Amino acid sequence: MPTISVIIPAYNVEQWISQSIKSVQQQTFSDLEIIVIDDGSTDKTLEIIKGIKDPRLTVLSYEHAGVSVARNIGLAKSRSDFVAFLDADDLWTPDSLELKLTGLHEHPRADVAYSWTLLIDDQSRIMHPLRGPVFHEGNLFFEILTKSVFDCGSVLIRRRAIEFVGGFDPTLKYGEDVDYWLRLARRSLFIVIPRYQLLYRRWSGSTTYKIDQAEKLELQEENQFRVRERALQHAPKRFHHQRRYMANFFFGYAGLHFECQSDGAGARRAWQRLRRAILTDPTILLHYSTLKFLALCLLAQMLPRDLFDRTTHFYRTIRLLIFSDLSKAVRH
């Protein structure tokens, strides 16, 4: 029986799936099984997966039912004492599984190991970290609720923890991953591997990056709010009156609304959320990121669209140059 089961749900990702599977095949820890669940793809995803020859690879295909159902199918088929999830458009660095497994062996009371995330574009070029390095360990329920301590599911989980919390919630269209990490955190201890190990792809078809219809973003926001409200029902009473978690929630969605449409209309929607965040917890104004985003919203409403686009393009170019050395270090 393999030591680690890697579960990859896949839906219409013909341009990425072979890269994602290859990043698993190239892991320095090789005693694993790879379970790919084709979630009713209508492009060449399934054909590409079936063309990959690896005795460790199992391919399952079902009618489209969503990422939660696909992950739950993978969990039911998996056999290992440790489980890792990878989205079909993301990549791992080669040491991702080895270092997480070593960390869990060194901390037998812990059930979950996480690491840090770098953003990549549609050409797999590293842009910048998703957020700054964090070092939280132990009981992370409140940290996950308020700070999004780790992102995109770059975790390795012991089977014993999964058997306790069960599968992903198929009724959630968005936020199912945060819901799962919060349920894990109610009983499990976490450790951090202080390295960038997940390369998280942001592209025009990625729902967590850009949702081109305002109503879809509203639905995502509603689901995420539901996840956090449900989590608080099971939280110790000392958490119930905390303002910070909701301020961070509104601040996060201010950014998403701005990314969705970075013009005056998008800036106004972002400002509505940012205002709610400030009113919920005024201390959020002490953070540089809040002031920077506030300035960005004001610029978007004041400057002509073409001038604003040129200004933000220059800023992103500078960031890309700054992190180019980091890109080389991760790849080599």
Question: Which residues in the chain come in under a pLDDT of 70?
Answer: 147-153, 203-215, 236-242, 261-264, 301, 303-332
The CA distance from 309 to 322, in Å, is 20
HSE at residue 205, side-chain half, CA atoms within 13 A, is 10
Please compute Rg for the chain using Cα positions: 20
Q: Which two tokens stand for residue 329?
A: 């270090």
Contacts of 326 (CB under 8 A, 6+ apart): 118, 126, 129, 196
Is 190 within 8 Å of 100 (Cβ atoms)? no
Alpha carbon separation from 244 to 133, 232, 281 (Å, rounded): 20, 13, 6
Name the DSSP class of 300.
H
Q: Which domains are delineated in the chain? A: 4-201 (3.90.550.10), 243-322 (no CATH)
Report the candidate in 255, 254, 264, 256 with the shortest Cα–Cα distance to residue 302.
Answer: 264
Give the pLDDT confidence score for residue 258 in this predicted structure: 77
CA max distance for the chain = 61
Is 237 within 8 Å of 140 (Cβ atoms)? no
Q: How many CB atoms lie within 10 A of CB 255?
A: 15
Report the candidate in 100, 99, 131 with the shortest Cα–Cα distance to residue 200.
Answer: 131
For residue 237, the one-letter residue type is: K
* Model pTM score: 0.77
The CA distance from 155 to 198, in Å, is 9
Give the residues across from 119 on adjacent strands.
Answer: 128, 200
Dihedral class, residue 312 (left if φ above 0, else alpha if ψ from -120 to 50, else beta):
alpha
> Residues for the chain: how many in total?
332
Alpha carbon separation from 169 to 29, 37, 67, 179 (Å, rounded): 30, 17, 10, 8
Report the candidate in 81, 87, 61 with the shortest Cα–Cα distance to residue 7.
Answer: 87
For residue 243, the one-letter residue type is: R
As a whole number, the mean pLDDT across the chain is 84
Q: Output the DSSP codes for 45-92.
A: HHHHHHT---TTEEEEEE----HHHHHHHHHHH--SSEEEE--TT-EE
Give the residues across from 6 on adjacent strands.
Answer: 34, 84
The CA distance from 153 to 229, in Å, is 21
* Structure-derived torsion over alpha carbons of residues 86, 88, 94, 98, reported in degrees to the nearest 10: 20
The CA distance from 58 to 71, in Å, is 14
Give the pLDDT confidence score for residue 209 in this predicted structure: 46
